[in-house]
Chain A
Amino acid sequence: MFELFKDLGAWLVDGDQWAGQDGIGHRLTEHLQYSLLATLVAAVIALPIGLLIGHTGRGAFVAINLASFGRALPTVGLVVLVFLASGLSMWPVYVALVALAVPAIVTNTYAGMSAVDPEVRDAARGQGMRGHQVLFQVELPLALPLVMTGLRLALIQVVATATIAAYVSFGGLGRYVFDGLAQRDLVQVLGGAVLVALVAVVLDLALSGLQRALFRHRPAKSA
């Protein structure tokens, strides 16, 4: 057991391991590329849905059902399904990752919107704000902490799951896991897994730190 960790340490700090096409540096960049693009696309789809449901108060059941549906969706199954339909491309990976991220963003955005004090919303209308002004000047800023939480959770989930890109022969940190498994190279498998976990944890800490810094003026309950 101790040997394994020693080998893992050596694997992680080995200069050769970080360089080149198959190096950790390149794989890390690929992994982040997949994750950020997928989360971005998910945000573009999910934010308007969450904001609209929250602003109008209609279709809340859609948001709730979407969340349970999203949790039940088997990611690998989806990858295989889209792979069979579209052939070998990054499409299956992106579809699966976006599908994974959308529910987290929709539900958190909706939760943030519905947590806006009705008195405040009423006051905003009563002062003469139009619908879009209420949304962008009052509701969205107040929902923002939870919206960001949704984006953060989505990104973390996507980072952890983006290993599946390697499952359909693409790059990312999943390469080490799948190659390691194929080669029965336990150190490589473990190295890949540890790297994925590290990236997820670092992103989570960085983003929650950013959130705290951004919303330090908020009363404790909503920050």
Chain B
Amino acid sequence: MIQFDTVHKRFPNGTTAVDDLSLDLPEGGVTVLVGSSGCGKTTTLRMINRMVDPTSGTIRVGGRDVLDQDAAELRRSIGYVIQQSGLFPHRTVLDNVATVPLLLGWGRRKARARAAELLDTVGLSPDAGKRYPHQLSGGQQQRVGVARALAADPPVLLMDEPFGAVDPVVRTQLQDELLRLQEELGKTIVFVTHDIDEAVRLGDRIAVFRTGGRLVQCAPPAELLARPVDDFVADFLGAERGLKLLSLTTLAGVPQGPAPDGGRWTLALDSARKPLAWHDTETNVRTPLRALRDGDSLLAALNESIAAPGGLVARVDSTGVLTGVSSRDDIHTHAGAAHAQAALTGNAPSAPTGPGPGEGAPAKDAAA
């Protein structure tokens, strides 16, 4: 869908932003570009919609060289979301979302109807449409930014650190929302971030850039975490990359047994057999718990097994009813096996609910 062919970008001041980039992004799926600041990830993104033109090399979107196309028309056909949302402060939210349809000459009525539809898609009330951007919270503004980018239903969506300026709780919400939207819409998304956790969470493929504009490795998250090509990538992924890998694997394969009948710790259930808390029969104290479903990650299971007083994790079905418990040892054994398998094949054994790692090929010039 998007191809970079030996692309270079040198700025007039002499700095090289992108150095000999060849990369092929397949249709559908999220590719995350990561790297520390000044590594050329944003420049790479902005070359796709000609906000920046390459010094040499070719970029094709849908098979067509971007330099052969009118820049403004190209940009209207590609969704673009930036940090701080970049909304027009003098226009209502609805008119902000209607920007591209209006530029495409849809007419005001049709453009606004489409904009209203999109506010709903990104989870905003119709009321919000009448307001001005500064009257919304940062998270809501970002949703409007996403709605604006989606307005003309472009096949490609470029997102430049879109969630960088919101607080962690809202960021997680927006990430969930994006994954849900993506499942629904199946766009080709290119997403820039410096947050490796965000990359692992959202990416079907992750491209790691190093200062000086070189692509070091491009691979599905599990492969990247299990087999970083060099020390730079390993350092960038962080010391706990083994744990991050577990966030990509589900609890489904871990054996479970019946809830303990006697002993010190018993499960308190409500009338519908939904777990409420661990009950300490000696002290009569209850410890709150987080019951896990098959689709939850092994990392969450490991965390819960450490937090639970008896080392047991309560497991429930999709309706929240208890199905059994898993022990700390079982989870640990399974986690080890999952990690070993990923290191061998580059694939997590089973992805958590939500889009999992894709089938991306490694970058052509992965060797740095």
Task: Give A contacts to B, CB under 8 Å.
Answer: 117, 119-120, 122-130, 133, 138, 141-142, 217-219, 222
Tell me if B76 counts as interface (CB < 8 A to partner A): yes
Report the separation of the CA atoms of residues A120 and B89 in the bound assembly, to the nearest whole angstrom.
8
On whether the beta carbons of B86 and A120 are closer than 8 Å, the reply is yes
Tell me if B286 counts as interface (CB < 8 A to partner A): no
In the bound complex, residues from chain B placing their C-beta under 8 Å from that of A128 are: 72-77, 100, 103
On whether the beta carbons of B82 and A122 are closer than 8 Å, the reply is yes
Checking B73, B82, B89 against A142 with a beta-carbon cut-off of 8 angstroms, the contacting residue is B89
Task: Give B contacts to A, CB under 8 Å.
Answer: 49, 51, 72-77, 80, 82-90, 99-100, 103, 132, 134, 148
On whether the beta carbons of A124 and B89 are closer than 8 Å, the reply is no
Q: Known contacts being A142-B90, A218-B90, A219-B89, is A126 close to B72, with CB within 8 Å? A: no
On whether the beta carbons of A129 and B90 are closer than 8 Å, the reply is no
Q: How far is the CB of A222 from chain B (nearest CB, A)?
A: 7
On whether the beta carbons of A219 and B134 are closer than 8 Å, the reply is yes
Q: Known contacts being A122-B51, A142-B89, is A217 close to B132, with CB within 8 Å? A: yes
Q: Which residue of B lies closest to A118 (CB)?
A: B86
On whether the beta carbons of B86 and A123 are closer than 8 Å, the reply is yes
In the bound complex, residues from chain B placing their C-beta under 8 Å from that of A117 are: 86, 89
Report the separation of the CA atoms of residues A126 and B78 in the bound assembly, to the nearest whole angstrom.
9
Q: How far is the CB of A22 from chain B (nearest CB, A)?
A: 48
Q: Which residue of B lies closest to A140 (CB)?
A: B90
Report the separation of the CA atoms of residues A130 and B100 in the bound assembly, to the nearest whole angstrom.
12
Report the separation of the CA atoms of residues A117 and B141 in the bound assembly, to the nearest whole angstrom.
16
Q: Known contacts being A120-B89, A141-B90, is A125 close to B134, with CB within 8 Å? A: no
Report the separation of the CA atoms of residues A198 and B94 in the bound assembly, to the nearest whole angstrom.
44
On whether the beta carbons of A126 and B89 are closer than 8 Å, the reply is no
Report the separation of the CA atoms of residues A138 and B89 in the bound assembly, to the nearest whole angstrom.
9
Query: What are the 3 tightest A-B residue pairs by CB atom distance, in nearest-first order?
Result: A123-B86, A128-B76, A128-B75
List 11 A–B pairs whose Cβ atoms lie within 8 Å, in order of A's numbering.
A119-B82, A119-B84, A120-B87, A120-B89, A123-B86, A124-B86, A126-B86, A128-B75, A138-B90, A142-B89, A218-B90
Report the separation of the CA atoms of residues A50 and B51 in the bound assembly, to the nearest whole angstrom.
25
Q: How far is the CB of A18 from chain B (nearest CB, A)?
A: 44
Report the separation of the CA atoms of residues A141 and B103 in the bound assembly, to the nearest whole angstrom.
17
On whether the beta carbons of B90 and A133 are closer than 8 Å, the reply is no
On whether the beta carbons of A127 and B103 are closer than 8 Å, the reply is yes
In the bound complex, residues from chain B placing their C-beta under 8 Å from that of A123 are: 80, 82, 85-88
Q: Which residue of A lies closest to B80 (CB)?
A: A126
Report the separation of the CA atoms of residues A47 and B148 in the bound assembly, to the nearest whole angstrom.
31
Q: Which residue of B lies closest to A219 (CB)?
A: B134
Further contacts, 11 of them, CB under 8 A, given A123-B80, A127-B148, A128-B100? A119-B86, A120-B88, A126-B80, A127-B75, A127-B76, A127-B80, A127-B99, A141-B90, A142-B89, A218-B89, A222-B89
Q: How far is the CB of A26 from chain B (nearest CB, A)?
A: 42
In the bound complex, residues from chain A placing their C-beta under 8 Å from that of B85 are: 123
Report the separation of the CA atoms of residues A176 and B51 in the bound assembly, to the nearest whole angstrom.
61
In the bound complex, residues from chain B placing their C-beta under 8 Å from that of A219 are: 89, 132, 134
Q: How far is the CB of A169 from chain B (nearest CB, A)?
A: 47
Q: Known contacts being A142-B89, A218-B90, is A129 close to B72, with CB within 8 Å? A: yes
Q: Which residue of B lies closest to A126 (CB)?
A: B80
Report the separation of the CA atoms of residues A219 and B132 in the bound assembly, to the nearest whole angstrom.
9
In the bound complex, residues from chain A placing their C-beta under 8 Å from that of B76 are: 127-128
In the bound complex, residues from chain A placing their C-beta under 8 Å from that of B77 are: 128
Q: How far is the CB of B141 from chain A (nearest CB, A)?
A: 11
On whether the beta carbons of A130 and B82 are closer than 8 Å, the reply is no
Q: How far is the CB of B350 from chain A (nearest CB, A)?
A: 38
In the bound complex, residues from chain A placing their C-beta under 8 Å from that of B88 are: 120, 123-124, 138, 142
In the bound complex, residues from chain B placing their C-beta under 8 Å from that of A222 are: 89
Report the separation of the CA atoms of residues A195 and B88 in the bound assembly, to the nearest whole angstrom.
43
Report the separation of the CA atoms of residues A130 and B76 in the bound assembly, to the nearest whole angstrom.
11
On whether the beta carbons of A126 and B90 are closer than 8 Å, the reply is no
Report the separation of the CA atoms of residues A130 and B80 in the bound assembly, to the nearest whole angstrom.
15
In the bound complex, residues from chain B placing their C-beta under 8 Å from that of A142 are: 88-90
On whether the beta carbons of B100 and A127 are closer than 8 Å, the reply is yes
Q: Which residue of B lies closest to A137 (CB)?
A: B88
In the bound complex, residues from chain B placing their C-beta under 8 Å from that of A120 are: 86-89
On whether the beta carbons of B72 and A122 are closer than 8 Å, the reply is no
In the bound complex, residues from chain B placing their C-beta under 8 Å from that of A127 are: 75-76, 80, 99-100, 103, 148
In the bound complex, residues from chain B placing their C-beta under 8 Å from that of A126 are: 49, 51, 75, 80, 82, 86
Most chain B beta-carbon contacts within 10 A, residue among A128, A138, A142 = A128
In the bound complex, residues from chain B placing their C-beta under 8 Å from that of A129 are: 72, 103
Report the separation of the CA atoms of residues A141 and B90 in the bound assembly, to the nearest whole angstrom.
7
In the bound complex, residues from chain A placing their C-beta under 8 Å from that of B49 are: 126
Q: How far is the CB of B118 from chain A (nearest CB, A)?
A: 14
Report the separation of the CA atoms of residues A124 and B89 in the bound assembly, to the nearest whole angstrom.
12
In the bound complex, residues from chain A placing their C-beta under 8 Å from that of B86 are: 117, 119-120, 122-124, 126
In the bound complex, residues from chain B placing their C-beta under 8 Å from that of A141 are: 90
Q: Which residue of B lies closest to A121 (CB)?
A: B86
Report the separation of the CA atoms of residues A123 and B51 in the bound assembly, to the nearest whole angstrom.
10
On whether the beta carbons of B90 and A119 are closer than 8 Å, the reply is no
Q: How far is the CB of B161 from chain A (nearest CB, A)?
A: 12
